[in-house]
Amino acid sequence: MNPLDTPTDLSAQRRQFLLAVRRHGFTAAVLGLAGGYLFDGQAMAQTAADEEKKQKAAKVTMLFATEYKIEDYVKYPIMQAKYKDNVEAQSKGQIYCKLHPAGQLGIGAALAQKIQAGTVQGGAVSLSNFSPYTPVVDLINIPYWCGDNQRFANLVTSKAWNDEITPKVMAKGYKPLFYFTVDPRTIATRKGFKLVKTPSDMQGMKMRVPPSKLLQTFYRLAGANPTVVPWGETATAIKQGVADGLDPAISALATFGFHDLLGHISYIRSVPDAQMFAANAAWYQQLPDDLRKAFDAANEQTQIETFAQIEKARTESMRILREGGCQFYNPTDGEMKQWMDTCGEQRKEYDEFKLQFAGSMAAFDNFKKAANTKGPITVPDFKL
């Protein structure tokens, strides 16, 4: 779709969306917004009728929630509308996917908890926000071993990962549907704060972090003061100077409205800004065998399409951030060596995490080998 751009158009869009919700229901309104026909009454009525018919005909209804707007896929590679299409097509209409985007049912760790509890059947949440409920996925937040897009894709599609990590995630109440990354994490600093080139630039810096113990360790090693701030409060913290910086990928910074708050973004490529599409494990396990196979096929299909969207989303996000006055910085090889030497996975401070999440140092080495072995999906890495 072509999003409306001016404030007047956005206000009209919001009013029309609320009107469509009242007249045609939330799902039809979401699809009308995604499809660009929100203002077409006839098309909206037909969509509502089609959705009602599909839901009645389905054997299973899946509530799928995210914190992202449907149209965000243009700048953030999360393919919600496509996912709905894939699930319904692969299951031949036997699974109806009801989307709840834009944080309707919660964001971050709160949404992860709802998936675990079965309040919603599935959703998309960052691995860092999953980590309080399924700590083993925090393994990816050990810096400088799987941060690049290709190495992350290799890892999460490997036999080692799916034999060792997936059962542990299942035991916590989640069925991983697929993993993806939206690029490596950055060091993004508020307007008026200095550019961060090396760890020495982070001395005493107030760094907002998600609830990941590993990321907190990483920034302490760099000399910063990491502070866990709920994602919904992060923009305010940056605006008020409570935090000097944050670390999401470029696409996340643009999608969540940081374009006018940031002065610099350093592309330090430390860890993947990774997400997981997950279902409630009990809900998944009670699906009939044929529907489970169809559901698995839809997830595999969407994973490939999502990785393919990364480059386009990044390009649009960089345009938005540059228009807001943000400057990008790509560390030199020498500066990257300083990051790796100061904060990299070889530091003994990470050994306890390797043992806790991987099970042994040898197992972690196997995961490293998997990350460095080309898997079935090709993902372009990026350097500014």
Q: What is the torsional sign of CA 131, 30, 99, 106?
A: positive
What HEC string does 191-224 produce?
CCCCCCCCHHHHCCCEEEECCCHHHHHHHHHHCC
Write the CA distances from 379 to 301, 303, 366, 369, 373, integer angstroms: 15, 11, 21, 18, 13
Q: Give the residue-averaged pLDDT of 222-248.
A: 95
Closest CA to 373 of 145, 181, 158: 158
What is residue 8's predicted lDDT score, i.e. its pLDDT?
A: 54
Say yes or no to pLDDT of 217 above 80.
yes
Domain 10-134+153-182+275-309 and domain 187-271+317-371, same fold? Reply is yes
Q: What does the pLDDT look like over 176-206, one tens digit per residue?
A: 999 999 999 999 999 999 999 999 999 999 9
Task: Count CB atoms within 10 A of the CB of residue 235.
Answer: 17
Q: What is the pTM of this model?
A: 0.93
Closest CA to 18 of 5, 30, 35, 6: 30
In degrees rounded to 5, what are phi and psi of residue 207?
-105, 115
How is 143-184 classified by DSSP, letter by letter? SSSS-SHHHHHHHHTSHHHHHHHHHHHHHTTEEEEEEEEEEE
Say yes or no to pLDDT of 160 above 90.
yes
Q: What percent of the chain has pLDDT over 90?
A: 85
- 187-271+317-371 CATH choice from 3.30.420.40, 1.10.10.10, 3.40.190.170, 2.60.40.420: 3.40.190.170
Q: How confident is the model at residue 164 (pLDDT cuts 50, 70, 90)?
A: very high
Q: Give the residue-averaged pLDDT of 310-337.
A: 97
Q: How confident is the model at residue 231 (pLDDT cuts 50, 70, 90)?
A: confident
**CA atoms of 370 and 159, how far apart (whole Å):** 8
Q: How confident is the model at residue 35 (pLDDT cuts 50, 70, 90)?
A: confident
Q: What does the pLDDT look like over 20-32, one tens digit per residue?
A: 889 998 888 889 9
| Mean pLDDT taken over the chain | 94
**Which has the higher per-residue pLDDT, 100 or 4?**
100
**Which has the higher per-residue pLDDT, 279 or 7?**
279
Write the CA distances from 90 to 27, 95, 291, 303, integer angstroms: 20, 9, 9, 14
Q: How confident is the model at residue 10 (pLDDT cuts 50, 70, 90)?
A: low
**CA atoms of 350 and 345, how far apart (whole Å):** 7
Say yes or no to pLDDT of 264 above 80.
yes
What is residue 293's predicted lDDT score, i.e. its pLDDT?
A: 98
Structure tokens at 88: 């319904």
Q: Which superfamily does 10-134+153-182+275-309 belong to? A: Bacterial extracellular solute-binding protein, family 7 (3.40.190.170)
What is residue 5's predicted lDDT score, i.e. its pLDDT?
A: 43
Q: What is the DSSP letter of 189?
A: E
Q: How confident is the model at residue 4 (pLDDT cuts 50, 70, 90)?
A: very low
Q: Give the residue-averaged pLDDT of 282-292.
A: 98
**Which has the higher per-residue pLDDT, 301 or 133?**
301
Say yes or no to pLDDT of 7 above 70.
no
Domain spans of the chain, in order of start: 10-134+153-182+275-309, 187-271+317-371
